[in-house]
Amino acid sequence: MTQFPIPTTLSRSVRLFISPDGSGSISDTSYNSFASFPSPNGIGAWYEFEVSIHGIPDEKTGYLATLAQLDAAVRSSVIPTLKAELFSPTIDSRTSPSILLHALATGVSKHLQQPIASLSWKITPFHKYLWNNEMPTKTTITSTFEFAASHRLNDPNRTPAENQSFFGKCNKLNGHGHNYRIAVSIVVLTDSTFGMAGLEEIVDRLVIERFDHMNLNIDCPEFRATNPSVEHIAAVCFDLLKDPLANHSAELKSVRLWETSKTSATIEAS
């Protein structure tokens, strides 16, 4: 039988629509807060934040905090700050997302009147910044890419019948293709000048251009003696990226590679 209380992390996603007009205050209402707050009215910017808190839930309510408290803390901190950053005509130079996220995390903690464990900012469906209290002066940056490639899975130490039995359709002689998706996460100092654009340039040059529209077994020397399983492809991508990113004082945190929407392999820094 479960013995309470148990230390728990509670996470809440808050989706926001920031517009240049008068809407967007925390007193506004939304007809679809699952999609955004407030409801979009004209042109603006959509973002998703996820706030996490950690602690022991209240024995009676079972809560670390109410969802309304989490929503209000994020909205109170994020909406006015981003509206000013995006649309104020007096701002000559824009603040980097990493520095902004650090300031927003401080603001959310103040509104909650308790420290938060982490705050992530999804600036597009494929680009994310993460601050957490274990690395308060650093930011984790993640970018997601796609490339198409074909491969054949085959073990030269097995007989053709054994290969067919073990790998199934993946062992067909002429191979088969996937639209691979790869998410690369790095850790940088919050005030680093190396950011999303630098990360994407390196991943595009060293991974995407290398493997996109290739037969991995035939065209890519990395897999001529190594079976191009999703596990091995992820590991090769990690090795290709680690040192070039380190040259820019960026620590490669993880590489996650999806072979299909249901199957992925992740290599994390040790």
What DSSP designation does 38 have?
S
pLDDT, position 5: 73
Does 244 sit behind a cis peptide bond, omega within 30 degrees of 0 on the bond before it? no
Please give the torsion angle defined by the CA atoms of residues 34, 146, 96 and 115, in that order, rounded to the nearest 10 degrees: 50
* Whether residues 108 and 160 fall in one domain: no
* CB contact set of 66 (below 8 Å; sequence gap of 6+): none
pLDDT, position 27: 55
CA-to-CA distance for 18 and 44, rounded, in angstroms?
5
Say if residue 29's pLDDT is above 70. no
Tokens linked to 22: 């008068």
Whether the Cβ atoms of residue 180 and residue 229 lie closer than 8 Å to each other: no
Tokens linked to 164: 């067919």
CA-to-CA distance for 54 and 65, rounded, in angstroms?
10
| Mean pLDDT of the residues in the chain | 92
User: Which residue, 77, 104, 132, sits at the end of a domain?
Assistant: 132
Instruction: For the full predicted model, state whether its pTM sits above 0.85.
Output: yes
For β-strands 138-151 and 214-215, DSSP reports them as parallel
* Whether residues 98 and 196 fall in one domain: no
User: Which residue, 105, 132, 159, sits at the end of a domain?
Assistant: 132
Q: What is the residue range of 31's domain?
A: 8-132
Percentage of residues of the chain with pLDDT beyond 90: 77
The CATH number of whichever domain residue 181 belongs to comes to 3.30.479.10
pLDDT, position 2: 64
Annotated catalytic sites, by residue?
170, 213, 259
Most confident stretch, 28-42, 84-98, 204-218: 204-218
User: Which residue, 88, 109, 132, sits at the end of a domain?
Assistant: 132
Domain count, the chain: 2
In a domain, 83, yes or no: yes
> Mind listing the pLDDT tens digit for each residue in 56-102?
998 888 889 999 999 999 999 999 999 988 887 776 667 899 999 99
